[in-house]
Structure formats: C-alpha cells, structure tokens
Structure 1
Amino acid sequence: MNLFNVYPLFNINPVKAQGSFLWDDKGEKYLDFYGGHAVISIGHNHPHYQTQLKNQLDKISFYSNSVQNELQTELADKLGKLSGLEDYNLFLCNSGAEANENALKLASFHNGKSKVLYFSGSFHGRTSAAVSVTDNPKIVAPVNYDERFIKSEWNNIEQLEAIFEKQGNEISSVIIEGIQGVGGIMIPTVEFLTKIKELCEKHDTVLILDEVQSGYGRSGYFFAYQEFGIEADIITTAKGMGNGFPIGGVLIHPKFQASNGLLGTTFGGNHLACVAAIAVLDVMKDENLIENAQKMGAYIENEIKDFPHIKTIRRKGLMIGIELDRDCSEVRNNLLYNHHIFTGNSNDKSVLRILPALNIKKEETDLFISALKTVLENL
C-alpha cells in the first residue's frame, strides 16, 4: 500500500527535535521558525512535557468518556485560570476542525437557526461544515457546498451590515478567526469585531471565535480576540494546545445549556491528550511565555522592518506575516535549503508566515534575522 499523495513534501526527513531545532536523518540541523503550523508552542520535547507524558504512560493511556477522568477537570480548571475565562465550560475533542464542527452545531442547537456567516480569506478546517466556511473553493467538494453558508468580505463593515439587514434573523452564527493564519496573518480591526458582536447580540446570533492558530498565547494575549475587549460566545482552540499531541477544545459561554448526548467524541479528552495539554499550560505559566511572545515578536519586527523587499509586516506577538514585493517561495526555499530554517507560506503567495515556539530565545531569533537579511539582500 502507498500513501494517498495529497501533500507536497520537502525532501527532508526530521528524526529528532529539541527546543527550537530539528535534525534530519542525515544529521543536518534546522531552526524551526514555523512549529508545524503553530503547533509547537513550548518547544520540541520540553523536559516537563516529556516527563508528564512518560509518567502517564505508566498509568493509563485511554478510556472512553463514559467514565470519570480527573485530568479533564484539571485541564479545564487551569485553562480557565490562565485564559481568564473561568466561567466558561470546556468540551474536549481532537482537532481544530472538530472543534469548529462542534461549535457550529452547538450554536444551531442553541438558537434553532441554520445559516452561518464567514469571511473572505478564512480557513476553519477540512471537515463538513468547517470546510463550508473556509474560503478556498479548491478544497470545498460539491457535497460540502450549501447556500446556508454566507461569505462576507474581511473588515468590510458596510457589507456585514447589509447581510444582517437582509438575513440576520436566519443567521445562527458568525465564525471568525482571531487572526487569519492561512489567509496571510490578516488582523481584524477593533471596529469590525465590535460591529460583529453588536449585530450578533441584536439578532440572537452566536459569535464563534476560531482561535485554533491565533490562540494559546500566540498573539501575545491568551486568545487574540481578547485584545479587543469583546466577549465571545464560543471559542475554539487546538494547534498549540497540545504541543504536537492531537487535542482540540471548545470553550462555551455559560448561557449554553448542556444535555446528555448533545456533543460527543471517542478519543477527545483522553488521558494522554489531557496530560499534554496540562503540561503546556504549566510551562506557559511558569516561563511567562505569553509575555515572551510579545517581547520576541516585537524584537523580530523591529530588526527586520527596514530589510529590502519587505512591503509590510503584519504581526501580533509571535504570529508574523512578512509581505514581500514578490512570491515568497524563493525566499522560503532559500531559507530552508541554504540556511536550514523552516518558515511557512499562506494563501497570499507574497506572505512569508513566521510561527516560532513561544519560548524562542534571542540568539535563535538572531539566526533567523541574519539569514533573512542575507537572502533578501541577495535577491
């Protein structure tokens, strides 16, 4: 049997990782400035993370959600305290797409409505409803298309108001990323998010903040939307939540009522996943990683802002989009193959996406800064 060939692959096979570095099967060392799409939040193989997972393997790895699991309670408690959302409730699942599926379903259960408003440039996952609110026709199969899913332009208040004026009473939820990642590090304006919240309240519409990539300290806030001072009805999270162990979560405002069987999952919130997520929160708190994201992100931006071929830098914390005056693929490949540094791209071909671990150190950022300067000056 062969693998189903859906991924364009770099000819690199990582076999070891530590902190912000990877080593391939030939012994070459790479600086990881992308973290596997913002997944590596506390660095590869952090000692506390490793120890906790190894200890749990000696106890129990999995049982279903038909029994008590005190690790879920500990995770919910620590997540509530560190995020400042202690009055919310937590549903655990396995991925960002699954978190968004459950969020959309919960919203529809709550108000009995069926339409969903999403935005240009969005990416919410590849499963049924999640891909239907993703702005990429290439990955939306005919079976996923439905007129109930309505697209509005990013940061366009006038169009947003017009849609609500016409269909507001039918719209179950609005789903929006705290910061668009795949879309090219697109940041919503405070006016835009405030207007969305206002219209949601007026029309009994649920506001879903997709913080799958922008959450967990990535933006310099626990969740990116918190900078704007609004209240979300539902928040979804995943990527950095488990530092590589598959886990997702739905944070649910207390106005939503739970009932037996309303949501469910086989693997969500299993013992190993919870231990991984608890370890991430412990390290984030003990090592002040949200503050480090603010500090190191500002340092990177300040050091590179005058480099040639950079048009703009869009950044919150360590979620950084470097817009070039050309397709970024040449720069990205040069950084990878000549300087051994992993970076990312986006649907905007000119945007180089930077998502290092939240505990990145100055000497590691300087390696990237120096390499980027060399690459750009030699274009």
Structure 2
Amino acid sequence: MNMKLFDVYPLFDITPVKAEGCYVWDDAGNRYLDLYGGHAVISVGHSHPVYVSKIGEQLQRIGFYSNSVKIPQQQELADKLGQLSGLDDYQLFLCNSGAEANENALKLASFATGRKRVISFKKGFHGRTSAVVAVTDNPKIIAPVNETDNAVILPFNNIEAVEKQLQADDIAAVIIEGIQGIGGIHVPNPDFLEQLSVLCKQHGALLILDEIQSGYGRSGKFFAFQYTKVQPDMITMAKGMGNGFPIGGVLISPQLKPWHGMLGTTFGGNYLACAAGIAVLEIMKQENLVTNAEKVGNFLLQELSRISGVKDVRGKGLMIGIEFDEEVKPIRQKLLFEGKIFTGVSGAHIIRLLPPLSLTMEQAAYFIEKFEKVLSELHVHSNEID
C-alpha cells in the first residue's frame, strides 16, 4: 500500500512540468499564461536564467550551514535589498516564510513593548501559525490552541475604532497588509495608514506592515506602503522574495535593538535562499520590473474597468481584484481549461491577478481579449451571470 497525501487542497486536474517567463506547460504539452504566479510567488518569471545560474553556482560551492557562522550572502542580500527598496537604515532578519516573518515581527514587538495585545483588521490574512492565525480574520482556520484574548480584529480603514483600542496603552503592535490579498484586494486608505502610524507612535505600539503579498515590486512601488509617507517599525516579506525558493524576512527599524537569542531559525538565511534572493533583486533592477508592474498594471486596471459585467476592479500594479455579483468559479474554470490562463480567487466573487512582474503589455492585452470572450460566452453582462 502506498502512503496517502493528507488531503487538504482542492486540486485542478493539471500537472505542470515546465515553466518559463510567464508561461507554464503541463504534462500533455498545453501552454498556459500564468497570471497567478503560484500565489504571488513568481516575481521575476519562471526559470529565469540568471536565477537558475545563481542557485546552481551556489549549490556547487556550499548549500547549507547554520546561523552559527558568518554567511556573507546574507549581508549581500541585505545591501541589495536596502538599495532597491530605499530602506538602507533598516535591519534584516531572515527566515523561511511569510507566516514565520509575521510570527517573528509580533514576537519582537512584544519583547520591545512588554505588551501582549495585537490589533489586526477585518478580511486580513497573516498566516497559519500560532500567533498570526489568531490575528487572521478567518475563524475556520483558527484551532482551539490558537484562540487568545490578545487578538483584536477591527474594521478596515476605521481610524476611530483603532484609536479607541490604543487608548488603553496596552497594544504591542498593529499589523496590517500593504494591500489585503486573500481578503479581496483592498487597499488601505492613505490617510488611514498615515493616521494609524501617528497613533501607534503616540501610544507606544509598533506598526507592522505585512508586505508578504503586496511587496517586492508587485504594487508598482517596492512596498505598497510607499505610496504613503508612513515609516513602519517593521515590514514583513516572503513570496516574491525568492521567486519560488522558500525565504522570508523582517525589515526592522533601527530604533529596535536586538540581543543574542531574541529571534532564531534553522534554515532562514541559508546559502541557497540568499542566492535566490540576490538573483531576484539583481533581475528586478536590471529589467526595471517595479516600473513594469506599475505600467502593465495600470493598463490592466484601465481595461478591466471598462468591461461590462464587472462590478468592481481594485488594486495597484500587478495585484488586481476583479469583483462580480455572482460566483466566479465558472469564469475561472473556463479561463483555465479553455483559455489556458491561470488566475486566482479571493473568496467566491473575486478573481485575483498576481502574475510575474515581467508580464508584458502584449500578454496583458491577450488576457483582456480572452477574458472578454469568456464573459461573453458565459453571458456575464450587467453584473449578472445567466
């Protein structure tokens, strides 16, 4: 008898075997345009030759040693990240995933403030591990062991609700996504984010910007919060940071001081992860992918907003939500199996686009053409699906 996989994922009957740029091929030879990027992970494109070469060369020298020794690639990654993001004065802690990045950010906030309580927001998603699942607005994934009185989930973009909670001066941190991803591509109001930053400083709470999905150029800025004047105490990253290789990180304000043993990880910042992260930053810089994300994203947002049957279009750059009055499952399936285009969803009514940042204008126009064709064939007009 063969061991069975623990069946927790609903799977499409597609087996990808090859990928390049913005395309994926299955085992039957079909080519798909990838507008999902493996859930916002593929930032610089599949199998980019610089990326492949960098990881291969590193593996030939040394693939792993623990954080008990100096790993020069960690500093190289930090230097390049600081230069490209404009956040040279921040400190970098490396880990393996977005959930781990958020866990460490919350832990650091609690160490720094001596407090326990955390504010997050409705429709927010921060991960599936202990502390971060407690501040995620999805009761279905919160097990009894994760339940806590320390998590306060407030209405999004409601500064009065935040101010009321902060007045007790017992909040360790406020965590908010640069753009809400799983919750439906909701962009924080710039005034709300800036007032939130001011209130956190007034009440001694730390502001954590979760840029795990919205960061690394996806929004058309390196981080989505950079559309505002906010300077967060911490910024969490993952997904596009490694273009498929597991890596996460926390950018930490210089005001926060570390001590040995405060945070730790076995695999975080290993040689291969750093090689992947360095390659991503080099490619992003050489190919101006942040600018490309803004340009192609603006085109998509403009074109999608004129399509009949679409209720709303939201987002920035190449992080886009397309909302309908009815469920989008038929649209997504038809796009995938007939149009050969991968897309994502946010709940039942929103199609989510998270393509590689290398998406071209021609590929974007091709998607618009196929998308309109699918909507027409499904009779999606005037916000109705027949």
Tell me the TM-score normalized by structure 2. Answer: 0.96
- Code of the aligned partner of 1:182: I
For structure 1, the 5+ residue unaligned runs are: none
Following TM superposition, by how much is the alpha carbon of 1:114 offset from its aligned partner in structure 2, in angstroms? Answer: 0.5
Q: How does 1:109-258 map to 2 (within 5 A)?
A: 109-165=111-167, 167=168, 169-258=169-258
Query: Quick one: distance in 1 between partners of 2:362 and 2:186?
Result: 28
Following TM superposition, by how much is the alpha carbon of 1:377 offset from its aligned partner in structure 2, in angstroms? Answer: 1.6
Q: Determine helix, strand or coil for the equivalent of 2:359.
A: coil
Tell me if 1:305 matches 2:333. Answer: no
Q: How does 1:82-101 map to 2 (within 5 A)?
A: 82-101=84-103
Q: How does 1:316-335 map to 2 (within 5 A)?
A: 316-335=316-335
Q: Determine helix, strand or coil for the equivalent of 1:345.
A: strand
Query: Quick one: distance in 1 between partners of 2:81 and 2:336?
Result: 35
Q: Determine helix, strand or coil for the equivalent of 1:235.
A: strand
- Which residue of 36, 39, 42 corresponds with 2:41? 39
Query: Quick one: distance in 2 between partners of 1:135 and 1:226?
Result: 25
- Code of the aligned partner of 2:44: I
Q: Summarize deviations over 1:323-368 as a string: whole Å, max 9, x none.
A: 1121111111110011110000013x21110011101112211221
Following TM superposition, by how much is the alpha carbon of 1:290 offset from its aligned partner in structure 2, in angstroms? Answer: 0.5
Paired positions, count: 376
Tell me if 1:368 matches 2:371. Answer: no
Residue 278 of structure 1: aligned partner: 278
Is the 1:30–1:341 contact (alpha carbons within 8 Å) kept by the matching residues of 2? Answer: yes
Residue 260 of structure 1: aligned partner: 260
Following TM superposition, by how much is the alpha carbon of 1:19 offset from its aligned partner in structure 2, in angstroms? Answer: 0.5
- Code of the aligned partner of 2:9: Y
Is the 1:304–1:373 contact (alpha carbons within 8 Å) kept by the matching residues of 2? Answer: no
- Once the two structures are overlaid, the 10-residue window that deviates more, 201-210 or 150-159, is 150-159
Q: Determine helix, strand or coil for the equivalent of 2:61.
A: coil
CA-atom RMSD, angstroms? 0.8
Residue 343 of structure 1: aligned partner: 343
Is the 1:307–1:376 contact (alpha carbons within 8 Å) kept by the matching residues of 2? Answer: no
Q: Where does structure 1 differ by over 4 angstroms across 4 or more consecutive aligned residues?
A: none
Q: Determine helix, strand or coil for the equivalent of 1:339.
A: coil
- Code of the aligned partner of 1:373: E
Query: Quick one: distance in 1 between partners of 2:163 and 2:376?
Result: 45
Query: Quick one: distance in 1 between partners of 2:165 and 2:259?
Result: 33
Residue 381 of structure 2: aligned partner: none
Query: Quick one: distance in 2 between partners of 1:300 and 1:194?
Result: 28
- Code of the aligned partner of 2:142: V
Residue 382 of structure 2: aligned partner: none
Following TM superposition, by how much is the alpha carbon of 1:242 offset from its aligned partner in structure 2, in angstroms? Answer: 0.2
Following TM superposition, by how much is the alpha carbon of 1:375 offset from its aligned partner in structure 2, in angstroms? Answer: 0.9
Q: Summarize deviations over 1:71-94 as a string: whole Å, max 9, x none.
A: 000000000010000000000000
Following TM superposition, by how much is the alpha carbon of 1:308 offset from its aligned partner in structure 2, in angstroms? Answer: 1.7
- Which residue of 102, 105, 121 corresponds with 2:104? 102
Query: Quick one: distance in 2 between partners of 1:259 and 1:238?
Result: 24
Is the 2:92–2:250 contact (alpha carbons within 8 Å) kept by the matching residues of 1? Answer: yes
Is the 2:313–2:323 contact (alpha carbons within 8 Å) kept by the matching residues of 1? Answer: yes
- Which residue of 64, 67, 73 corresponds with 2:75? 73
Is the 2:247–2:268 contact (alpha carbons within 8 Å) kept by the matching residues of 1? Answer: yes
Query: Quick one: distance in 2 between partners of 1:24 and 1:359?
Result: 21
For structure 2, the 5+ residue unaligned runs are: 379-386
Is the 1:284–1:290 contact (alpha carbons within 8 Å) kept by the matching residues of 2? Answer: yes
Is the 1:200–1:207 contact (alpha carbons within 8 Å) kept by the matching residues of 2? Answer: yes
- Code of the aligned partner of 2:368: I
- Code of the aligned partner of 1:130: V
Query: Quick one: distance in 2 between partners of 1:86 and 1:358?
Result: 23
Following TM superposition, by how much is the alpha carbon of 1:199 offset from its aligned partner in structure 2, in angstroms? Answer: 1.2
Query: Quick one: distance in 2 between partners of 1:325 and 1:85?
Result: 41
Is the 2:323–2:349 contact (alpha carbons within 8 Å) kept by the matching residues of 1? Answer: yes
Q: Summarize deviations over 1:277-311 as a string: whole Å, max 9, x none.
A: 00000010011001000100011122222212101
Following TM superposition, by how much is the alpha carbon of 1:162 offset from its aligned partner in structure 2, in angstroms? Answer: 2.0
Residue 11 of structure 1: aligned partner: 13
Is the 2:301–2:314 contact (alpha carbons within 8 Å) kept by the matching residues of 1? Answer: no
Q: Percent identity?
A: 57
